Amino acid sequence: MKTIITMTIVAMLTFSCGGGSGSGTTETVVPAGVTENTLNTESEVILSSVGDVLREGEALFSTSLPVDFELTVLDSSGNPLSLAVITLKDENGNVLTSAATDENGYVRFTFLVASDASAAVLSIIREGYETLEISIADITLLESVIRTVSLDKSENAVAVTDSDGDGVPDELDAFPYDSELAFTSQNKIMIAFDGEYPAKGDGDFNDYVAKLQITENINSRNEVVAVAVHIVPAKTEAGHIMGININGKRYILSKDPLIASDKPFMLNVTLSEPVPRNKMQMMPYDPFLIPANDASRGEIHLPWVETVYEGARSDGNGRPWVIVVTDGWKWPDEGVSIESVYPDFDDWYLSGGTEFSDWYLNPAI
Ligand SMILES: [Ca+2]
Ligand SMILES: [Ca+2]
Ligand SMILES: [Ca+2]
């Protein structure tokens, strides 16, 4: 059962219907002494609502959690505002991703949020309107942020420049002279594999550890145009091969299985055509490891991502062979299980990730 948080603010607006062309009319009352063409009708317009959905506790074994954002931006009369720029920031003001609303004032995207984040901030900027900032507390307890907001007209509107004519003003456009690009979306994670697959892992999650920095370039129509994945191996063992599937396409990243290379890889993918963000595979896509470069052993994939891989993703005890951790994490020594180094690890995943989300900061002394 999903828990949905609902809050709706309904504004009573009076429309003047000159020739009977008023939209959104629900009721017609003709007061005495008023003729048809000066008729006033009242209509209910939802200007602001919250329909957030709470996350169901599920052990993802990831310190980055996917949160779905769905926003509708209206003016104070309830008309949709297109090309409103939504920017998601973390609690320290770092920009995580941006997107522009479509002709229905609507935008949707999914983003990985750090599991120990206390809040997220959405800023909504539209030329000619007052900027709105919304702080969302306990962001990681939410699976979806579903909001309708309205912007007030700005008293002292200033003219803005849009050099490339993509509808996004220069100051908000990450590519102000490229009409095919407007925003970037960035995520940085660490991925740690236990290479015993398909045998039960020894739980040290140190057989292949890499930093992944993922950047998506996005246009003003909220479509992904290109993806860059920068992988820096942090701890490797000879023989393991790392790869990643993006939108069903397979990319092998490490080329030389004979040496344990810490050489970084850069994967740049320009999609054959721009993909709407709600149809794009969610970051971090589908990274995988071929243990010992032995295809007969299968592949290790994250337990919670979309994949075509049909082999096991968790062992008989519900434990995976790969976890996502925050950049800077220190992996356990060889053969030492993660829970003996990080005593809160079990409580963290058994709580579905809702408790002890800072487990990786508290090693046993
Ligand atoms: Ca622009
Ligand atoms: Ca641009
Ligand atoms: Ca291991």
Taking only the tens place, the pLDDT of each residue in 127-173 is: 999 999 999 999 989 999 999 999 999 988 788 999 999 999 999 99
Structural domain ending residue among the three candidates 159, 192, 225:
159
Can you give the pLDDT at residue 311?
Answer: 97
- Convert 21-60 into a string of H (helix), E (strand) and C (coil): CCCCCCCCCCCCCCCHHHCEEEEEEEEEEECCEECCCCCC
Higher pLDDT, 30 or 86: 86
Indicate if 141 and 97 belong to the same structural domain: yes
- Report strand pairing: 85-90 vs 142-151: unpaired
Lowest mean pLDDT among 149-163, 190-204, 243-257: 243-257
| Among 20-24, 60-64, 91-95, 138-142, the least confident range | 20-24
Q: Hunting for tokens 């949160």 — which residue is that?
A: 67
Q: Which of 113, 144, 159 is the last residue before a domain boundary? A: 159
pLDDT tier for residue 257 given thresholds of 50, 70 and 90 = low
**Is the residue at 33 inside a domain?**
no
Q: Is the residue at 252 inside a domain? A: yes
The per-residue pLDDT for range 101-136, each reduced to its tens digit, is: 999 999 999 999 998 898 999 999 999 999 999 999
**Is the pLDDT confidence value at 227 over 50?**
yes
Number of the ligand closest to the Cα of 169: 1
Residue 341 in any domain: the answer is no
Would residue 21 count as lying in a domain? no
360 domain-assigned: no
What span, in angstroms and rounded, lies between the C-alpha atoms of 241 and 258? 10
Q: Are residues 151 and 201 in the same domain?
A: no
Q: What is the CATH number of the domain that holds 88?
A: 2.60.40.10
Tell me: the pLDDT tens digits for 284-331?
999 999 999 999 999 999 999 999 999 999 998 899 999 999 988 999
pLDDT at 12 over 60: no
Ligand nearest to the CA of residue 335, numbered in listed order: 3
CA of 308 to the centre of ligand 3 (A): 24
Digit-coded pLDDT (tens) for 37-76: 434 445 677 889 999 999 887 889 999 999 999 999 999 9
pLDDT for residue 365: 75
Give the integer Cα–Cα distance in Å for 72 and 54. Answer: 19
User: How far does residue 99's CA lie from ligand 1's centre (Å)?
Assistant: 13
Three-class SS of 141-180: HEEEEEEEEEECECCCCCCCCCCCCCCCCHHHCCCCCCCC
More confident residue, 53 or 25: 53
One domain, residues 148 and 205: no
- CA of 121 relative to ligand 1 center, distance in Å: 23
Mean pLDDT of the chain: 88
| Of 134, 124, 143, nearest in space to 58 by CA | 143
186 CB-contact burial (10 Å; exposed 0-12 / middle 13-18 / buried 19+) = middle
In a domain, 358, yes or no: no
Does 188 share its domain with 130? no
292 by DSSP, 3-state: which? helix
Q: What is the CA radius of gyration of the chain?
A: 25
> Up-side HSE of residue 335: CA atoms within 13 Å toward CB?
0
The region that residue 21 occupies, defined by phi over 0 for left and psi between -120 and 50 for alpha, beta otherwise, is: alpha
Number of other CB atoms surrounding residue 155 within 10 Å: 6
| pLDDT exceeds cutoff 70 at 28 | no
Distance CA 78, CA 80 (A): 6
Measured from the alpha carbon of residue 167, the closest ligand is 1
Q: How far is the CA of 181 from the centre of ligand 1 (A)?
A: 8
User: Separation of 107 CA from ligand 1 center, angstroms?
Assistant: 18
Structural domain for 86, as ranges: 7-14+44-159
| pLDDT for residue 5 | 78
Which of the ligands is closest to the CA of residue 183? 2
Can you tell me the distance from the alpha carbon of 210 to that of 233, in angstroms, rounded to the nearest whole number? 4
Pair 138, 268 in one domain? no
Cα of 21 from ligand 3 centre, angstroms: 70
Residue 64 forms beta bridges with which residues? 114
Query: Which residue type is seen at 334?
Result: E
Report the run of H or E that residue 338 belongs to, with start and end. Answer: helix 338-341
* Ligand nearest to the Cα of 323, by number: 3
pLDDT the model gives residue 18: 40
What is the distance in A from the centroid of ligand 1 to the CA of 161? 8
How many H-runs (helices) and E-runs (strands) does the chain carry?
2, 19
Instruction: Give distance in angstroms: CA of 126 to centre of ligand 1.
Output: 13
Q: Give yes or no: residues 124 and 207 share one domain.
A: no
Q: How far is the CA of 179 from the centre of ligand 2 (A)?
A: 4
Distance between CA atoms of 11 and 177, rounded to whole angstroms?
A: 40
Whether residue 111 is found in the same domain as residue 76:
yes
Examine the domain organization and report whether 231 and 138 are in the same domain: no
Instruction: Give me ligand 2 centre to Cα 272, in Å.
Output: 19
Position 255 confidence tier, pLDDT thresholds 50, 70, 90: low
Tokens of 78: 């309830």
Calculate how far, in angstroms, residue 362's C-alpha sits from the geometric centre of ligand 3.
21
pLDDT of 36 higher than 60: no
Report CA-CA distances (Å) from 360 to 62, 165, 205, 326, 348: 11, 46, 13, 8, 10
Closest Cα partner for 90 from 37, 135, 43? 135
CA of residue 282 to ligand 2 center, whole Å: 23
CA 298 to centroid of ligand 3, rounded, Å:
16
Give 217's contacts (C-beta < 8 A, 6+ positions apart).
175, 181, 183, 184, 224, 225, 226, 227, 228
Beta bridge partners of 218: 183, 224
Neighbours of 157 (CB within 10 A): 11
The Å distance, Cα 99 to ligand 2 centre, comes to: 12
198 prior amide bond cis, ω within 30: yes
Which range, of 156-160, 183-187, 193-197, averages the lowest pLDDT? Answer: 156-160
Please state the pTM of the whole predicted model: 0.86
- Residue 248 sits in the same domain as residue 115: no
Ligand nearest to the CA of residue 334, numbered in listed order: 3
